[in-house]
Amino acid sequence: MYDVIVIGAGPAGSITAAAAARAGYRVLVLERYTSCRSPCAGYISRTINMELPDDSVIQSKITKMRTYLPDLSFHDFELNGLVVDRPMFDTALAQRAKEAGAEIRWDSPLTELISGGIKFRDGKTYEKAYGKLIVGADGVFSKTASLLGLQQHRFAVCAQYHLKGIKTLARTCEIFFDSDHAPGGYVWIYPTGEDCARVGLGITEGPGLKSPRAYLDEFISHSHIAGRLSGIKTEYITGALPIGGLREKLCYGNILLAGDSAGMADPITGAGINNAMLAGEIAGNTVVKALENDDLTILAQYETRINRLLGGPLKRALEKRKRLDACYTSNELLQEHLPELWVTFKEYWEINYSTGASPGTRTAPPSAEV
């Protein structure tokens, strides 16, 4: 019998598990994969007030984002962040949870929610585990959310290479908007060293579109910076991220949703790591409080705090996403309206669609990463 069962060993799940385990509660973490993996540029903003794993996971520092419009003009914006090795970063967070006392079961996907617990597959056999509280932190295709009967989030599909022997811009991440190269999304370049970078893209699905890898290969080979990207492909990974916004409800009895399973990634940028870490911290503290007081109604405080901190910005981004979708029909529309729809332009912040707040209510845009 466990006090807490966490589904998913990403940042939200591992941080939740570590908090509960440190408080002395028995915690089980189930991860469907055999190790940590993510189709992610690995950008984390330094603005997050949380302790990160040691420096070994850091690959580069980022001080600027350069955003290219379809006509190749660009806009620079100062950033203060890091690019981390995502598998190493996630593994380090999972290790923290393990050291705190959590039990982690790899290659153990959730299969059912049962009375008082869950059922999962361990290899070829099925096992049951019982727990007082369950935290679903199992990503965009969350099995937890599906078993709760929730609708699948709208998502973007992604492809990413790690390229070596290329020309990068020092401490600068680059974002390219072009409806021909990345319909519904954008191309990113995040340096991981002096001559290497993660180069990827996300697109929204639609009739007549090619695979994300086909678009990415075309960009690397035929874009205006193809010469800079002529290097060695050392890694390829695919995945998806939610762009449907924050779920209306995050608490279902003794079950909480956190991270991508709750729709906490920004619908415009795809940024999700910082929000997932924040959600893990809040979920962990709330779970501990509920267990200490033997009162499940306390879990509702998690939903209240998340909505207070993330609800407004994510609602605004979802409104912007709807407008951005309409602009991908032509590069002319994208060129004209992108400053209103991308977070590093001041025009993005001039009207708060979600709250009606006056310009300047929020002075700093969130981190942008996929």
Question: pLDDT of 264-307, one tens digit each?
Answer: 999 999 989 999 999 999 999 999 999 999 999 999 999 999 99
Q: Render pLDDT for 185-232 as a digit per residue (tens, 0 to 9).
A: 999 999 999 999 999 999 998 888 999 999 999 999 999 999 999 999
- Rounded Cα distance, 182 and 32, in Å: 30
- 362 has pLDDT over 50: no
Name the nearest CA neighbour of 104 among 39, 42, 36, 51: 36
The β-bridge relationship of strands 117-122 and 125-136 is antiparallel
- Rounded Cα distance, 321 and 338, in Å: 11
Name the nearest CA neighbour of 32 among 261, 228, 197, 188: 261
CA dihedral over 335, 337, 343, 348, signed as positive or negative:
positive
Domains identified in the chain and CATH numbers: 2-312 (3.50.50.60)
Name the nearest CA neighbour of 279 among 298, 299, 297, 262: 262
Global pTM reads: 0.92
123 vs 365: which has the higher pLDDT: 123
Residues 6+ apart with CB under 8 A from 187: 175, 176, 178, 181, 199, 200, 201, 216, 219, 223
Per-residue confidence (pLDDT) for residue 351, from 0 to 100: 57
Q: Report the amino acid identity of residue 201.
A: L
Q: Render pLDDT for 49-59 as a digit per residue (tens, 0 to 9).
A: 777 777 889 99
| Element (DSSP H or E) covering residue 58 | strand 58-68
Average pLDDT over all residues of the chain: 92
Contact 98, 20 (CB under 8 A): no
Contact 189, 43 (CB under 8 A): no
- 48 has pLDDT over 70: yes
- Rounded Cα distance, 278 and 306, in Å: 9
